[in-house]
Structure 1
């Protein structure tokens, strides 16, 4: 599910753009703190040596390529088509991320093994990560069902892995705090305003997962139409 050519251009651009709008505040914050100018950034982005370094860095490959591909394949492309007929799109969107969040608990074992922090702080961090990944998983599940494409969630996953959790406290201490906070708020407001229009299934062609649904389901009308 999710592997098709129909609507692939919009599936590549719109979900990622929507996610970037949500992260408008962090992106502005990064741009203000970045020592490079815009043209310098473009030069780096189009420099083959930069991408060679990236693709030879195992951590970069794991975070930006392997993890997004494998996790979206398992938890969205494979799991959602099995959950939706048994429950409903709405229920599946909030059930699937629970498995996704639990899958990240392996970090607890790693941190305990190497004694990277106290037991309490490790478990508090794990609880926070579970909550964050579950919310993110619900979002990408929503994208998958609305667009019917695997590619959009993968790109959004890779982008979010790169940006990380918004540095809200750092933003509040920033010299240009007012402007950054404004963009944080603006990004969230625009995200919710554009969430349904930018994921309108009519932009992505026929949505295969919607054919698995009972035509009488109310969730079918709200998410697939």
Structure 2
């Protein structure tokens, strides 16, 4: 249970954190819908078509980004690391500390870019700092979800969704023909996310929280209630 693998409250743990993350990405999702004239029925047929999923499962890059990386990274940096940090640091400091390891783990991209000389040294390191920043923020978010829900499945699904969406294309949004409408949904998504963050991660929805029992009461009250 400490690693977030149990059945109690699993349906809520799979749905609500993912819904919350989709709310945060409301602007990019609306922008995506506006830029592509998708038919709902065609999209639904494609989603339910086993052949479509079969093509994804044999795509190594898709499997890495949507399945392997979310599962292994959340297992290591949330399910394994947080139970070790919480008794030593408390819940709040664990949420802040754990993402730093997660961010540093992505610095291997710098080595790849330098090795293949894909850009200037200054540009590569600026890119690395930017990537470290948003991966650390994302890591804090999934650590928060893991502690509040007590489940691993929520962080894994959120990680997979964010890998699919990528970082919001703010430049494209500012140049969009309907940029005011797009900007409205970007702001609305952030506002709704902040309003729903605690209600949709209410611990009472998910069963007992094993990690909260590891922390001293003064270090866990604000996160676990």
Alpha-carbon deviations, 1:7-50, whole Å to 9, x = none? 10100000000000000000000111124222221111111111
Which sections of structure 2, spanning at least 5 residues, go unmatched?
Answer: none
The answer to whether 1:166 aligns with 2:168 is yes
Q: 1:183 matched to which residue of 2?
A: 185
Runs of at least 4 residues of structure 1 off by over 4 A? none
- Normalised to the residue count of structure 1, the TM-score between the two structures is 0.97
Within 2, Cα distance between the matches of 1:92 and 1:44? Answer: 41
Q: 2:73 matched to which residue of 1?
A: 71
Within 2, Cα distance between the matches of 1:13 and 1:117? Answer: 40
Q: 2:223 matched to which residue of 1?
A: 223
Aligned residues: 223
Match of 1:50 among 44, 52, 62: 52
Q: 1:150 matched to which residue of 2?
A: 152
Which sections of structure 1, spanning at least 5 residues, go unmatched?
Answer: none
Q: CA RMSD in A?
A: 0.8
Cα 1:143–1:35 change in 2 (3 A) is same
Q: 2:86 matched to which residue of 1?
A: 84
- Normalised to the residue count of structure 2, the TM-score between the two structures is 0.97
| 2:216 counterpart SS class | coil
Alpha-carbon deviations, 1:48-101, whole Å to 9, x = none? 111111111111000000000000000000000100010111100010000000
| 2:18 counterpart SS class | helix
